[in-house]
Chains A and B, each alone.
Chain A
């Protein structure tokens, strides 16, 4: 059974069909990459799934429930975690408080007015931080962290509500190649342990081709390819969209995005 099933999803801005009749599924435990050149409609597609944008038409089924048009917070409540392209944390809180906030929200304790929040779920939060390798930074203000570390904090936050699906918008954007690999390796390990399905967009092809179980390709709002790394590499349509000149992905591997 698929965890996520996107059916005939469409969204236009003015006269531009940003996303046009796109359909795909994410299987349980699958690590699925959504790629495409700039302007292909990845972000639009992504933002419809996470609730930031309402689709013009089509269905987004998460575990057979249509979540199209729901608010981001309601989608999160159903068990969909998410990380941002530009990592966002609560700058006035410590690292561990950032994770605690997510745990508090997950436990529906947001409106508590009496018990101090600092002691709520602290152990569980520290445990999550340990899993992303950020235990030492627990009591530092989150805005003092290096960017790569903020990405790890985001990951800990995203795991707080025990999601069954994780949406990651360019998880490695703005990171050095070494960091990038470490982060994706960590993500993969964490989601495999938990059986979480992942849908991610990504610009660095080395990450995509090395780690994705399956790849889907968008171009000008349409889905043009769907398959494993080898199939996508050989797909003439994908080659044309990306290069037009006959270069192949073999050349692109390992190159900076």
Chain B
């Protein structure tokens, strides 16, 4: 590779960095002031591209394009203000997780609204009027529009920087970022401040999306990709730091550009295709930065972060009534194969539900009693599923051995990732776990020779007698019951108490000799191992495993299941997983707009039943929350 080609890629990287910066800076500002992580920020960015596309094609010309970009920013700005006023304002005092969930519901709703309005085809906008040409740089043609993007990123950074440094609004934003309570105590109208910050962040995302219209097609997949990238940028740069956001955007875009520029390198003993590393490169950067600087490059430790775990009742062994109910449900589940003769689909559903129960219960184990909000639980599901499937594929091991290996491989992965993750807490822990999950996903996706790439591993069918759905269902049921009871047992044992002690008051726990990090690390590993069982069962149930089944969506599904059931109860994840998996397999498959439906269910849940299904039922029956 020549130096000029290298420099050319670096310029390309700078153009991409501007796009990353626009979305990340809004996310960062909003988090700094409101402490809400707006997962729907990627959706606002996506909307920006779609709206700008409509302006550019309907009105056309310079006015339609350039005027459309400005109008788009304003429209998304208003939309952001509406979201803040109608939804977020109601949940500022809710637990952090509910805020995440609510904004995730918005992602689903906005995605389906976009599908409804613009259809599912990718839409490529016109080239920018006045900037259609290209400039020759380093002997290559760089589109003039990219040059424009390279300039506009730092320009907006400067404007924002001065606005924050010199204006009253800017001072309030900076003050709130440092100490939100104090700003409120000094008599600042928080409602207006929050709304305007949210609107500003939304406008920046809309502008960023709109500017992409001449560069990339508008597609429905943009929202999650954009938010993933933005998270990485914000976490690397430091939450609330706009300069950090730009710096991180440049670093990440450049690392990606570098990977593309290097291309395939033959090291003699192994050939590495660096351009395939782009998917994982940003997460490697993030993991590295978080380990070295837990608050990001230019971030500072957040003052006065509200405890994420709400006050919780002591756990108590199941009351006789609940035990009787559990036995009755178990008997019913064991009888399911008899019922299934009429409707064979019932068994498939049953297997899906049971796998979801293991998945959600293991996630709840660290999320609830451990207070560690993992956004990457799919990693351990994936390690278990791929671990079992690959052993069958390459070593031709029997199913039994595959199912034993699944949790062990997941456990090993969780031990490794958990060691880093427990060094952080709150949002940063969530993001690091997400990064690890993305790394696992990207490895499975890109290591084609070994994992089958995007096709995954196929032909992982169970041998007789387990090839009968009824028998496999009973096997799954037995394993699920054992897994759930095991995790319960751990929670009532000293180890489970120590986990909760470390969550309730790390200072006090350390002061009575508990090594909180080690306890949480082992808890993380146990949860990962149990989750691996779910992955192994899944692979044999479906006969295959592919990267898309272990993507970020599965991690989010797990969060929804746990919160749907109620995080403060031990039966919550079981109920949540059952309801969610059933809904997913039945209602949601009936409609094209299942995402919007799910989103609305989540919003209803967050606004009306913040304590989850089990919590709400317990309250209706007028007793204290039961375990």
Report which A residues bind B (CB closer than 8 A).
50, 71-73, 76-77, 82, 84, 88-94, 97, 100-102, 104-106, 109-118, 120, 141, 143, 157, 160-161
Contact = CB atoms under 8 A, between A and B. Distances in A.
Given A92-B314, A92-B504, A141-B314, A110 B498 contact: yes
B500 A92 contact: yes
Given A93-B500, A97-B314, A115 B508 contact: no
Interface stretch (B134-142, B270-278, B514-522): B514-522
Interface string B165-208: 00000000000000000000000000000000000000000000
Greatest chain B CB density within 10 A among A76, A93, A101, A143 is at A101
Interface residues of B, number: 32
A31 to B, nearest CB: 21
B508 A116 contact: no
Contact of A117 (B312, B497, B512): B497
A93 B511 contact: no
A106 B513 contact: yes
A241 to B, nearest CB: 31
Nearest to B516: A73
Given A89-B505, A91-B312, A76 B494 contact: no
A141 B504 CA distance: 13
B510 A72 contact: yes
Contact of A92 (B315, B507, B514): B315
B492 interface: yes
A117 B314 contact: no
Contacts of B489: 113-114
Contacts of B314: 92-94, 97, 141
Contacts of A71: 510
A64 to B, nearest CB: 21
B505 A90 contact: yes
B585 interface: no
Contact of A72 (B492, B503, B511, B519): B511
Given A101-B498, A160-B512, A84 B490 contact: no
Report which residue of B314, B505, B509 has the largest number of chain A beta carbons within 10 angstroms of its beta carbon: B314
Contacts of A92: 309, 311-315, 500, 503-504
8 contacts: A71-B510, A84-B507, A89-B505, A90-B508, A93-B500, A101-B497, A105-B514, A111-B494
B495 interface: yes
B504 A90 contact: yes
A24 B514 CA distance: 29
A105 B311 contact: no
Contacts of B504: 89-93
Contact of B500 (A50, A90, A105, A141): A90
Contacts of A105: 498, 512-514
B529 to A, nearest CB: 12
A107 to B, nearest CB: 9
B508 A117 contact: no
A92 B371 CA distance: 12
Interface in B462-510: 489-490, 492-498, 500-501, 503-505, 507-510
Contact of B492 (A73, A76, A90, A118): A118
A117 B510 contact: no
A73 B311 contact: no
Contacts of A82: 511
A104 B496 CA distance: 12
A256 to B, nearest CB: 25
A94 B312 CA distance: 11
A76 B512 contact: yes
Contacts of B500: 90, 92-93
B505 A88 contact: yes
Q: Does more than half of chain B's interface fall in helix, strand or loop, or is it mixed?
A: helix
B492 A111 contact: no
A91 B311 contact: yes
A153 to B, nearest CB: 11
A92 B503 CA distance: 9
- Which among A73, A76, A97 has the highest number of chain B CB atoms within 10 Å? A73
Contacts of B311: 91-92, 143
Contacts of B515: 73, 110
A124 B309 CA distance: 30
Contact of B493 (A88, A102, A117): A117
B493 to A, nearest CB: 5
Interface in B502-561: 503-505, 507-515, 519, 522
B393 to A, nearest CB: 34
B493 A50 contact: no
A88 B494 contact: no
A109 B494 contact: yes
A113 B414 CA distance: 18
A62 to B, nearest CB: 15
Nearest to B486: A113
A101 B503 CA distance: 13
Contacts of B492: 116-118
B493 A116 contact: yes
Given A50-B511, A160-B512, A110 B494 contact: yes
Given A73-B515, A90-B504, A93-B314, 18 more contacts: A72-B511, A73-B510, A76-B513, A77-B513, A93-B497, A97-B497, A100-B497, A101-B498, A101-B514, A105-B513, A109-B494, A110-B498, A110-B513, A110-B515, A110-B519, A111-B495, A112-B495, A116-B317
B309 to A, nearest CB: 8
Interface string B313-332: 11101000000000000000
Nearest to B490: A113
A73 B315 contact: no
Nearest to B368: A92
A99 to B, nearest CB: 10
Interface in B210-254: none
Nearest to A72: B510
B595 to A, nearest CB: 35
A157 B315 contact: no
A117 B315 contact: no
A129 B493 CA distance: 22
Given A92-B311, A92-B313, A84 B494 contact: no
Contacts of B510: 71-73
A88 B508 contact: yes
Contacts of A91: 311-312, 504-505
B505 A141 contact: no
Closest 3 pairs between A and B when the two form their complex, measured CB to CB: A92-B312, A112-B494, A88-B508
B513 A93 contact: no
A94 B313 CA distance: 8
Nearest to B504: A90
Contact of B512 (A112, A114, A161): A161
Contacts of B495: 110-113
B493 A115 contact: yes
A141 B510 CA distance: 21
